[in-house]
A = this chain, B = another copy of it.
Amino acid sequence: MVGGSVPVFDEIILSTTLMNRVISFNSVSGTLVCQAGCVLEELSRYVEERGFVMPLDLGAKGSCHIGGNVATNAGGLRFLRYGSLHGTVLGLEVVLADGTVLDCLTSLRKDNTGYDLKQLFIGSEGTLGVITAVSIQCPPKPRAVNVAFLGCPGFAEVLQTFSSGKELLGEILSAYEFMDAECMWLVTHHLRLASPVQESPFYVLVETSGSRAGHDSEKLSDFLEQALSSGLVTDGTVATDQTRLKALWALRERISEALSRDGYVYKYDLSLPTERLYDLVSDLRARLGSQAKHVVGYGHLGDGNLHLNVTSEAFSPSLLADLEPYVYEWTARQRGSVSAEHGLGFKKRGVLSYSKPPEALRLMQQLKALLDPKGILNPYKTLPAQA
């Protein structure tokens, strides 16, 4: 997406594929310690067999490595419930640029002895050190999972349904995702998926995860009853078994795949105040007119994270010129983030300054110079090229 892991010029590629061993798992505390090359889906399977879940989940789980997840501070589908890796990662082993092995691989939930060095490496995209092992806190596996897929008449109703969900579902709300009608068109048209609800301007996917099925379904049905009777939601369906659950999640998770079949895709991953989040999509649709095939908005609404995507038949420099810097300037005016979860990598390192002031950029460059004076760690990435 941003080319953070793609070699572009003269880089040497390091593979952690063979570093795929679980080092330890504490089945009382749920602490997993493993090497950086473990595949996320395999770790999920491993901890789920032991009554826990990984605190993160994302579309690429079948191929991504946990080391890469931590290096990019991956967000994904469980962020709303379990929070960021800055909170769930307990320890790291990192190899520094000079070959020093920095052993911060402890499994303590609390440790205030000096600076929390591991935080430096979470989300720095491999530019400050190479993560070789990870200690991570896994939450207990929920005993009951429900998914509701709902149609909403407008974006205001998407937001109100979220507020109502937070109130009535409380601590069992584990995901609140949204997609617009154009997204639904793309997945039904290109991937032949069937929409489970009536056609609507917006759709939301609400997931609950809890420890007691009876309590959870009572909370969920009260929430749905209120949402339907108040007109916030016009149609909906609920799934509790694995097959139906996966089918509903597929509508949301496969949007990216449907987009790639639609033509050339311009991708943006933004954090915005939720109230203004969809205005950018509407603005752009008007601004781009017939130049674009589709302008779509979807994402992790619960986290204020919009995935904005535009498609055209083929790459068009004039369309790009209408998109950038417009999208970045719009985001900066809301004090949003021009990269909510995908990082900056190679392709977006030039837009850092839309979300961070010059003083922050200067300190980042000082940290890079301190930790990697020769610039050998993932060069050309994350920070803008120095003038």
Contacts and interface: CB of A to CB of B under 8 A. Distances in A.
A6 B192 CA distance: 67
Nearest to A269: B112
A382 B337 CA distance: 33
A383 B114 contact: yes
Nearest to A84: B87
Interface residues of A, number: 89
A300 B107 CA distance: 16
Contacts of A100: 359
A106 B332 CA distance: 11
Contact of A370 (B342, B352, B367): B367
A110 B337 contact: yes
A29 B274 contact: yes
Contact of A112 (B140, B340, B354): B340
Interface in A355-382: 355-357, 359-361, 363-364, 366-367, 370, 382
A311 interface: no
Interface stretch (A11-19, A165-173, A237-245, A278-286): A165-173
B305 A113 contact: no
A145 interface: no
A124 B168 CA distance: 39
Most B Cβ at <10 Å: residue of A110, A112, A120: A112
Interface string A63-88: 00000000011010001000110111
A338 B113 CA distance: 7
Interface stretch (A37-45, A210-218, A250-258): A210-218
Interface centre among A117, A170, A360, A364 (most CB of B within 10 A): A170
A271 B335 contact: no
Given A111-B337, A140-B170, 13 more contacts: A75-B112, A86-B119, A100-B359, A101-B359, A106-B337, A110-B271, A111-B339, A111-B340, A112-B342, A114-B383, A115-B128, A170-B211, A171-B209
Interface of A: 26, 28-29, 72-73, 75, 79, 83-84, 86-88, 96, 100-104, 106-117, 119-120, 122-124, 128, 140, 142-143, 159, 163, 166-172, 209-212, 215, 218-219, 271, 273-275, 300, 303-305, 335-344, 351-352, 354-357, 359-361, 363-364, 366-367, 370, 382-383
27 contacts: A26-B273, A28-B163, A73-B112, A79-B109, A83-B87, A83-B88, A86-B87, A86-B119, A87-B87, A100-B359, A102-B360, A104-B356, A106-B335, A108-B335, A108-B340, A110-B337, A112-B337, A113-B352, A113-B355, A114-B360, A114-B361, A115-B120, A115-B382, A116-B123, A117-B364, A140-B170, A171-B172
